[in-house]
């Protein structure tokens, strides 16, 4: 059974630590999915939009660029500092995705880019999204596809499995309920949403090589960082070499162009 307090504490500490590195290290993997996410929530000019687990705020800014009245919210003070410094014209609030600090019926759209699967109980977070939406409002959120098609993760997990210790991480097991697109649809329906569905989205993540991919995930994430940091130091060269060997097929003149895949799940409140 998930230990909600342990998951929350682990995630908060991890994202606090990653905040300053996030834009350069990990945002190049998450930002390409923002247009698809905003489309899945049908975000339009004039909409009141909430970006949950906003990190440095790129989704809220993307919504504002469409003419929406957007704000972001995150539980990491360090992420909020980055967001406020980076985008002074957009409001960013402190709060927890499972206990949104907004009144009922306040938004036309609630979106979250790679946020919902980090909370201890995704259905609880989606019930909160449902509560703060107006009737007719839309929710959409992205999750990563399984490593079989989300190749950056596959490269790293396979290399750790072959050359390191895949069980070494001391991170608490994640909360369940938003691991697959079908899980996400079930979670949306459990939270009261209708007209649910999902889309698959793809992108490329450019990295010079295996060492740089590992460094980006180590400095810019929470759970993946814990797995990488837990590897014996003397296993790292073999892990890097394994990634470079397996990634050779994705190499072009500029380095690696690694396929990423995600799902945007969506629903409506009526
Ligand atoms: C992978 S980052 C995504 C950031 C941003 N949405 C983006 O696309 O760049 C995950 C974010 O979720 C936030 N987060 C995780 N659990 C949260 C919770 N329970 N409440 C609020 N924010 C949370 C973290 O602080 C972090 O900023």
Provide the whole-model pTM: 0.97
pLDDT score recorded for residue 30: 98
Which sign, positive or negative, has the C-alpha torsion 173, 13, 37, 228? negative
pLDDT score recorded for residue 1: 53
Atom from ligand 1 closest to the CA of residue 76: 25
What domains, with CATH codes, occur in the chain?
4-268 (3.40.50.150)
pLDDT score recorded for residue 87: 97
Nearest CA to ligand 1 atom 23: 53
What span, in angstroms and rounded, lies between the C-alpha atoms of 147 and 164? 18
Which residues in the chain show pLDDT less than 70?
A: 1-2
Q: Which residues line ligand 1 (CB under 6 A)?
A: 11, 15, 27, 30, 53-55, 58-59, 74-76, 79, 96-98, 113-115, 118-119
pLDDT score recorded for residue 184: 98
What span, in angstroms and rounded, lies between the C-alpha atoms of 34 and 25? 17
Atom from ligand 1 closest to the CA of residue 19: 27
The pair of structure tokens assigned to 238 is 């073999």
Q: What's the CA-to-centroid distance between 253 and ligand 1, angstroms?
A: 34
Q: What's the CA-to-centroid distance between 241 and ligand 1, angstroms?
A: 31
3-state helix, strand, coil in the chain (%, to 5): 45, 25, 30
Q: What's the CA-to-centroid distance between 263 and ligand 1, angstroms?
A: 17
Q: What's the CA-to-centroid distance between 106 and ligand 1, angstroms?
A: 21
């Amino acid at each position: 059974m998930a230990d909600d307090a342990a998951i929350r504490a682990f995630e908060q500490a991890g994202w606090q630590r990653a905040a300053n590195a996030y834009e350069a290290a990990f945002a190049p993997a998450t930002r390409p999915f923002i247009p698809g996410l905003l489309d899945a929530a049908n975000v339009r000019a004039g909409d009141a939009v909430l970006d949950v687990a906003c990190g440095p705020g790129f989704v809220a800014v993307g919504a504002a660029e469409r003419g929406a009245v957007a704000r972001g919210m995150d539980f990491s003070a360090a992420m909020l500092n980055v967001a406020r410094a980076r985008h002074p014209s957009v409001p960013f609030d402190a709060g927890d995705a499972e206990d949104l600090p907004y009144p009922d019926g306040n938004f036309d759209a609630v979106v979250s880019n790679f946020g919902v699967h980090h909370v201890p109980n995704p259905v609880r977070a989606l019930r909160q999204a449902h509560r703060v939406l107006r009737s007719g409002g839309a929710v959409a959120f992205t999750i990563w596809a399984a490593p079989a098609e989300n190749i950056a993760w596959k490269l790293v997990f396979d290399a750790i499995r072959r050359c390191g210790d895949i069980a070494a991480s001391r991170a608490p097991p994640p909360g369940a309920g938003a691991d697959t697109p079908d899980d996400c649809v079930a979670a949306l329906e459990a939270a009261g949403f209708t007209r649910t569905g999902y889309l698959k989205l793809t992108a490329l993540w450019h990295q010079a090589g295996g060492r740089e991919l590992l460094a980006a995930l180590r400095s810019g994430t929470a759970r993946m960082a814990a797995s990488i940091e837990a590897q014996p130091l003397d296993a790292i060269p073999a892990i890097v070499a394994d990634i470079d060997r397996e990634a050779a097929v994705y190499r072009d003149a500029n380095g690696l162009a690694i396929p990423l895949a995600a799902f945007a799940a969506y629903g409506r409140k009526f």
